[in-house]
Structure 1
Amino acid sequence: MQAPGAASRWLLPLLAGCAGSCSPLCRAARGAPPAPDYAPRRAPRPAPGRSRPRRSRGRADERSRGVRCGQGAMSGDGARRAAGAEREEFVGFFPQVVRRGLPARLSPQVLEYNVPGGKYNRGLTVLAAFRELAGPQQQDPESLRCALAVGWCIELFQAFFLVSDDIMDQSLTRRGQLCWYKKEGIGLDAINDAFLLESSVYRMLKKYCGERPYYLHLLELFLQTGYQTELGQMLDLITAPVTQVDLNRFSEQRYKAIVKYKTAFYSFYLPVAAAMYMTGIDSKEEHDNAKAILLEMGEFFQIQDDYLDCFGDPALTGKVGTDIQDNKCSWLVVECLRRVTPDQRKILEENYGRKEPEKVAKVKELYETLGMKAAFQEYEEKSYQRLQELINKHANRLPKEIFLGLAQKIYKRQK
């Protein structure tokens, strides 16, 4: 049972004490008269000479033609404006998430603190992929609202995983602010808050997509992805227990398994697969093709994340890296173990997985000595080239723009 102080965080104090000065998010959660129905932005007209690939359910001939990429591409400024407008549209839908994701008597604080603040790549991918895949008759306002809602469902899913992960890893900051469990008065009540974030996903799916023909596909997709991610988290925890440092557990095979299940499925496959189901693309062949690209992209992303945990700027990443202290099976330590001499391995064994700043510094010094920065840069170039090859091979019947756009977003990222 939650302590009274914790309960007051969720239960609004009898809706008293507010004279209309609260935020729009708070007013929505308190059951104030709803704003007019959200009107999604229709997809912009393509620039002259550019034809948007469209897909309609039941149009087998259209699907089999494939899409040629890069013809009449939008200018750089135009693309940035379009991306900015799509982001603004997506963020503008968040009050609907607060209002409908939780019962009206529950405080929106947990949602407001943990769900916004990221880059929204996962949620925006749903919206962008939906617009690329949907035929004209699927671009009606109600269908676009469903796409926005599903995008936010993935952001809620992400918040659930991050709140839980921060507790297990004993992290200090997330997205430039204290981790939720570190806030005064929260503590381990954050475990139940994480469960509520997860439950909000399924409330939103039912409210927005419950009457749609693809609802069961989405439900199964989210349930399966949650299971896979939790398996990945478990594998991560048993590979690198905080209380027992054993470098023999760290192998490339084990690392790839952790990344595939813990990160790649929910961060890359889930958003695109959701958009595919929403536009009637449900064949195993096309989902397998998408998965072949997106799981590889997820590994690329996680290796970047491991590098930034050690060498990134906290002012940009929004968090203080703790992989060394937490005894994590990261790409850096796996690659380091392939390069070390016996004496260098001894240094790693004596210092890895320890909290003392001087021991962490010795591990980072060893990484520098072994040229891990250069090794990562070489990996990044080769991996990005491999992604291009996979896209050309597997995206024959899906718009390449979806995958190329994702790859370009994460290439050379600093946060």
Structure 2
Amino acid sequence: MSPSASKEKFINQFKELVDELVGILASYKMPQEAIDWFVKNLNYNTPGGKLNRGLSVIDTYCILKGVTPDSLSDEEYKKVAILGWSIELLQAYFLVADDIMDKSKTRRGQKCWYLVDGVGDIAINDSFMLEAAIYALLRKHFRGESYYVDLLDLFHEVTFQTELGQLLDLVTADEEHVDLSKFSLEKHSFIVRFKTAYYSFYLPVALAMYMSGVSNEADLKQVKDILIPLGEYFQIQDDYLDCFGTPEQIGKIGTDIKDNKCSWVINQALIHANEEQRKDLDINYGRKDDKAEQRCKEIFNDLKIQQIYQEYEEEAVGKIREQIEKVDESRGLKKDVLTSFLQKVYKRSK
């Protein structure tokens, strides 16, 4: 099955899940006006991205089972796709809330949900609804499975970890009180591992492992020890693209400089800047001003941050490849699961 066909099949499954969620709301006798709003929320915020996290659950499951996606029974495919869409719902929940907190303008090439006409602060509750949909679907389809509690525990743990990362991000990068002395690569590493790596990299693989029966604690630790550093590399890529990529590339307007984000780019700049450059960064970083943003970018270019990133990338990927080669496959875990993730991330441009 081609990547486009796999994605189309996955999206068609989402349409069925929306109908199921409508049925759940109808069973509570929810008025049609509210049901229609929830459907709009689901369709606007959930399926619009690249869907890599959700599709990775299916890909990982198939690798572990030694099958192809088109050889799965309809029921087996639906269940693993539900796990994939559960991550996409989690992602949608985080993004809707994050855009409000960051006062972002665009997301995935369209207006942020809270900026859509008539939405506003309702988006706060809409983010909660996206998260709640995860547990409604898991309860309906997995309650009878021996690993049901493991799924719930995993989602709750990863959600908490992600929110810890967001907390440190917010208190370190207060938009109202810019203080670059609060930044460090150590803080950045914690933020990206907790805010991104757990739910974007470890969660898809762990979900597939539970469903496939390859869920020994030693194997879960093996994948975590590789996927969390891989997720950190992914977020550093994201930080880099936010600054040096175009809106057409990344599907949004980069806001890290104006939002006073504790990004990898600014932390590298702080390490390499001379006294005059540091003063200029203190003056211009985190300001809602186009000229100030441009001055920061000029300093980043003068410091050759793009070259520093390329050197970092090769070193990080080399270490990850070494770790993958050492993976113990004796209990059913397969190196291909981890290799496929690395291939998706390495040298990406969006």
More helix by share: 2
Alignment equivalent of 2:12, drawn from 92, 95, 98: 92
Counterpart of 1:163 in structure 2 is 96
Contact 2:64 2:337 in 1 (8 A): no
1:409 maps to amino acid: K
One-letter code aligned to 1:401: D
Taking the TM superposition and a 5 Å limit, the aligned residue runs for 1:399-410 are: 399-410=334-345
CA RMSD of aligned residues (A): 1.4
* 2:290 equivalent among 357, 365, 382: 357
Are the counterparts in 2 of residues 164 and 194 from structure 1 also a CA contact under 8 Å? yes
- Name the structure 1 match of 2:58: 127
Distance 2:245 2:297 in 1: 12
Alignment of 1:335-346 (within 5 A): 335-346=268-279
SS in 2 for 1:91: helix
Residue equivalent to 1:208: 141
Contact between 2:109 and 2:251, CA under 8 Å: does it hold in 1?
yes
> Using the alignment, how far apart are the partners of 2:59 and 2:328 within structure 1?
16
Tell me if structure 2 keeps the 8 A contact 1:123–1:150: yes
Q: Determine the structure 2 residue equivalent to 1:240.
A: 173
| In structure 2, C-alpha distance between the alignment counterparts of 1:214 and 1:82, rounded to whole Å | 31
1:148 is aligned to: 81
Give 5+ residue unaligned stretches, structure 1. 1-80
Deviations 1:170-205 (A, max 9, x none): 000000000000111111110000000000010111
Corresponding residue number in structure 2 for 1:377: 310
Query: What is the number of residues matched between the two proteins?
Result: 334
Residue type of the partner of 1:246?
A: D
> 1:401 offset after TM fit, Å?
1.4
User: Partner residue of 1:305?
Assistant: 238
User: Is the CA contact (8 Å cut-off) linking 1:101 and 1:201 kept in structure 2?
Assistant: no
* Higher mean C-alpha deviation, range 330-339 or range 391-400: 391-400
Aligned to 1:116: 47
- The answer as to 2:189 corresponding to 1:269 is no
| AA matched with 2:336 | E
C-alpha distance in structure 2 between counterparts of 1:382 and 1:335, whole Å: 16
Q: Could you say if the C-alpha distance between residues 395 and 109 of structure 1 is closer, same or farther in structure 2, counting changes exceeding 3 Å?
A: farther
Task: Determine which structure has more spread, i.e. the larger CA radius of gyration.
Answer: 1
1:399–1:371 distance in 2 versus 1, CA, 3 Å: same
- Give the CA deviation at 1:143: 2.5
> What is the alpha-carbon distance in structure 1 between the residues aligned to residue 133 and residue 17 of structure 2?
9
The one-letter code sitting in structure 1 at the alignment partner of 2:16 is: Q
> Match of 1:347?
280
Q: Which amino acid aligns with 1:180?
A: W
TM-score normalised per structure 2:
0.92
Tell me, in whole angstroms, the C-alpha distance in 2 between the residues paired with 1:376 and 1:135. 36
> Structure 1: how far apart are the matches of 2:290 and 2:215?
51
Partner of 1:18: none
> Contact 1:240/1:327 (CA < 8 Å) preserved in 2?
yes
Task: Encode CA deviations 1:101-136: one digit per residue, 9 max, x unaligned.
Answer: 342441210011000111111000100111111378
